[in-house]
Amino acid sequence: MGACVQRAPHIARAVHQRGHWIGLHGYDHQSFPLLSAVELRQSLEKTRAAIAQACDLEPELLRDVRPPNGLFTPQILRWLQDWGYRPVMWSVVPEDWVCPGVPVVVNRVLQQTCNGSIIVLHDGYCGGAAVAEAVAQILPVLLNQGYRFRTIDQFWQLHAASAS
pLDDT score for 163: 80
Query: What value does the mean pLDDT take over residues 78-92?
Result: 95
DSSP string, 117-146: --B----GGGTTHHHHHHHHHHHHHHHHTT
Report the phi/psi class of residue 117: left, alpha or beta, with left for phi > 0 and alpha for psi in -120 to 50.
Answer: beta
Query: Residue 63 and residue 86: Cα distance in Å, rounded?
Result: 6
Residue type present at position 47: T
Domain boundaries, the chain: 2-87, 96-163
Q: What is the pLDDT of residues 130-146, one digit of tens each?
A: 888 999 999 999 999 99
CATH of domain 2-87: 3.20.20.370
Reported as a pLDDT band with limits 50, 70 and 90, residue 37 is very high
pTM to 2 decimal places: 0.86
- Please list, in sequence order, all residues whose beta carbon lies within 8 angstroms of the beta carbon of residue 159, skipping any fewer than 6 positions away: none
Contact 145, 109 (CB under 8 A): no
Own/partner long-range contacts of 83-87 (Cβ < 8 Å, ≥24 apart): 83/41, 83/44, 84/60, 85/24, 85/44, 86/156
Q: What is the pLDDT of residues 57-68, one digit of tens each?
A: 999 999 999 999
Reported as a pLDDT band with limits 50, 70 and 90, residue 78 is very high
- Is a pLDDT exceeding 70 seen at residue 127? no
pLDDT score for 60: 92
